[in-house]
Chains A and B, each alone.
Chain A
Amino acid sequence: SYELTQTPSVSVSPGQTASITCSGTKLGDKSVSWYHQTPGQSPVLVIYETFRRPSAIPARFSGSSSGNTATLTISGTQALDEADFYCQAWDNDNAIFGGGTKLTVL
């Protein structure tokens, strides 16, 4: 079955750039979504179709993909960005989620 692999944790200083990666076989050929989740809250879509951003999401969030890796980049990271991030793609009509990356802003 298809799998998406994420680094369990990433740390970044306020104002710096955070990169969260997601790996899967030929992931660059798929449409990737990214979700942000804070404790006790529902996930929120931050990137869809690999690089598109919902209108309510700040421009500091961006997405890219190439080969087997998709990347969520957060520029000028703020303390309120601290959360769990999940990548998601489709394979054989099944949605697959990555294991999640905990972003710590310190």
Chain B
Amino acid sequence: QVTLRESGPALIKPRQTLTLTCSFSGFSLRTNGLCVTWIRQPPGKAPEWLARIDWDDAKYYNTSLKTRLSISEDTSNSQVVLTMANMDTVDTATYYCARTTRPGPAAAYFDYWGQGILVTVSS
């Protein structure tokens, strides 16, 4: 059974760095074709893709946000960590991690999602 769970602060101040952890089970990030992705969704808006880490440790970032983002894996604990620097009120959103299956170079889909964590940026 595949499960993912996000953890981190519910409230963060502007200009601080957000650190979120995705704890997953039921699959290995060393399996060819599997990845973990972070996606956020502001209240009432569409999802926005943030970053992805692949089975071979390749990392991909949202072009518009890449200077603020970092994604890494703790293999021993089946966790993926996302950091996002210089948080602003517009970054208030529900942050999700999702298992991603990537059958080919230009094809990947988010087949299992965590429950999400609402992060509010406010002073």
Which A residues contact B (CB, under 8 angstroms)?
1, 30-31, 33, 35, 42-45, 48-49, 54, 86, 88, 90, 92-100
Contacts and interface: CB of A to CB of B under 8 A. Distances in A.
A97 B114 CA distance: 18
A86 B46 contact: yes
Interface of B: 37, 39, 46-49, 52, 60, 62-64, 96, 101, 103-104, 106-111, 113-116
Contacts of A100: 46
Most A C-beta atoms less than 10 A away, residue of B60, B62, B109: B109
Contacts of A35: 47, 110
Nearest to B48: A97
- Residue with the greatest number of chain B CB neighbours at <10 A, chosen from A31, A48, A94, A99: A94
A48 B106 CA distance: 12
B103 A94 contact: no
Contacts of B107: 31, 49, 90
A89 to B, nearest CB: 9
Given A1-B63, A31-B106, A48 B46 contact: no
18 contacts: A1-B64, A31-B108, A42-B96, A42-B115, A43-B47, A43-B110, A45-B109, A49-B107, A86-B46, A88-B47, A88-B110, A93-B60, A95-B37, A95-B39, A95-B49, A96-B49, A97-B47, A97-B49
